[in-house]
Amino acid sequence: MNNLRRKTLAAASAVTLGAGLALTGGMSPAAAAGPETSYLVLAPQGNGTAKAAARVAAADGTVVAAYDKIGVLIVRSSAPDFTTRVAGAGVESVASTAGLGTALDEGETVEVPAAAVAAATGDPTAEPLYNLQWDMDQIRVPQAHAVSGGSPSVVVGVLDSGISSSHPDLASQIARDKSASCVGGVPNTAEAAWNPTTSDHGTHVAGTIAAAVNGVGVTGVAPGVKVAAVKVVNDDGYIFPEAAVCGFMWAAEHGIKLTNNSYYIDPWQLNCRNDARQRPVWKAVQRALRYSQSQGVLHVASAGNSNWDLAHKITDTGSPNNGTPEDRENLTNACLVLPAEAPGVVTVAAVGPTGEKSYYSSYGQGVIDVTAPGGDTRFRTRGAVSTSADGILSTTFNTATRTNGWGYKQGTSMSSPHAAGVAALALSAHPGMNPGQLSSFLERTAVAKSCPSGVYNPVPLIPAGPNAYDAACSGGNRNGFYGAGVVDAYNAVK
């Protein structure tokens, strides 16, 4: 397993059976005055962006996307003094997003011969690989499907690395009219733009949510619903703030009622709103989230793979992940994982096959809302080596051979789509719930799980050291490890 304190909330390990990620990213070629740089320019909220746009033009910048409803402009400029020149009436704040990307950590990928897939036998759901999906039994998916597999009117936006539109388990599941690449902060609806190019992370997430029950491969939590590919990651594996803003706004304006977010924004795993450079990013993201929530969108997000207690002061030694890491000690709750810790976002921790906290999953009393299967490939050996089958099996896309398949990954990236899938089932069975009601319903139907006693560490033999993953749980029925409990698909639809 790779260092779980680096990069995104992405999969920590992967194994592919049989048969990746893209923003059209990067900066434009250098202009005469210097390299072209992207900026977030914020106008005072509620006053429109006309004055800010005029200042951008006067400062030799170009507006590439205007989100008037939240007062945010995505701007590019080659002027080295752009930040200084654009300041003034009509501009509340400005931040360069150069160096603010967050790279996905894909983890190990090992292909398994297609014969292994062909030899798989069917199970109660008629899906050949279902007997390997321990996660679905854990949250009572078969019982839920006997009642409902979800409604095609419910669309889950997968803000990620794109979805393979040719995958046999996903081709019928994608809402193509609601899919787009948001790389660079500007929507591009071309199918090629929102397909994966360098990562299968989004394809794996999408399969967990909605892989079809069609006699092929695996089942998703909610195979009756649709998924929309909203690509927010470029070919280099970076998630820039403007792409996330674009993704939230795209969901708000295209009838997407749920999104899954298995990443964090900014190279700093904790985004500090009291930091002068990070605050404009934090504000822009908050505005986009609030607006989308006002339009009926519930966002579900991964808690993170750092085994951090997010309810207490944290020392971050692994950020920024795209430069030389700095030691940031005693970070307070002014520093948050975005989007997971933003108000109104459902924050999801991970459990393994035993139902206990996955050793890597971040936690925190009052932070974690629910938990869901994310895999734990180390618990059987107490950390010594990995057991791939204890990860999450879902759909994959081999970006080298350009072939579709199925494979294992683990991480809170994998737990979040389970929760999103259960939320999609709930919204299908009980239409009309607003984001707050749906979030509350997801928590009320979860199965409460008590804290383990004492110091929790299922992986004392892990190479990182015997105490590397020590954790302490606090709380009662609602606690820091599991929040309100493990999501339950059957409870959501019965």
Query: What is the rounded CA–CA span in Å between residue 138 and residue 132?
Result: 12
C-alpha to C-alpha distance for 424 and 206, rounded to whole angstroms = 13
Q: Given the structure tokens 């976002």, which residue do they identify?
A: 345
Query: Which is it for the CA torsion 337, 7, 96, 200, positive or negative?
Result: negative
* CA distances (Å), origin 367, targets 9, 311, 362, 479: 16, 6, 10, 9
Structure tokens at 350: 């991970």
Contact 392, 417 (CB under 8 A): no
Among 51, 40, 24, smallest CA distance to 194 is for 24
User: In this structure, what is the dihedral angle of CA atoms 167, 171, 172, 175, given to the nearest 10 degrees?
Assistant: 130
Order of all β-strands in the sheet with 180-181: 180-181, 226-231, 155-160, 258-261, 298-302, 346-351, 370-373
Could you tell me the two tokens for 307?
């085994």
* Backbone torsions φ then ψ of 478, nearest 5 degrees: -110, 120
Helix/strand/coil for 236? coil
Dist CA 444 CA 442 (whole Å): 6
* Burial of 155: CB neighbours in 10 Å, binned 0-12, 13-18, 19+: buried
Residue with tokens 């409902």: 148
Token pair of 69 as six digits: 């409803």
Secondary structure element (H or E) that encloses residue 351, with its range: strand 346-351
Distance CA(294)–CA(297), nearest Å, equals 7
Round to whole Å and give the CA distance between 365 and 473: 8
Q: Catalytic amino acids?
A: 160, 201, 413
Beta-strand pair 258-261/392-398? unpaired
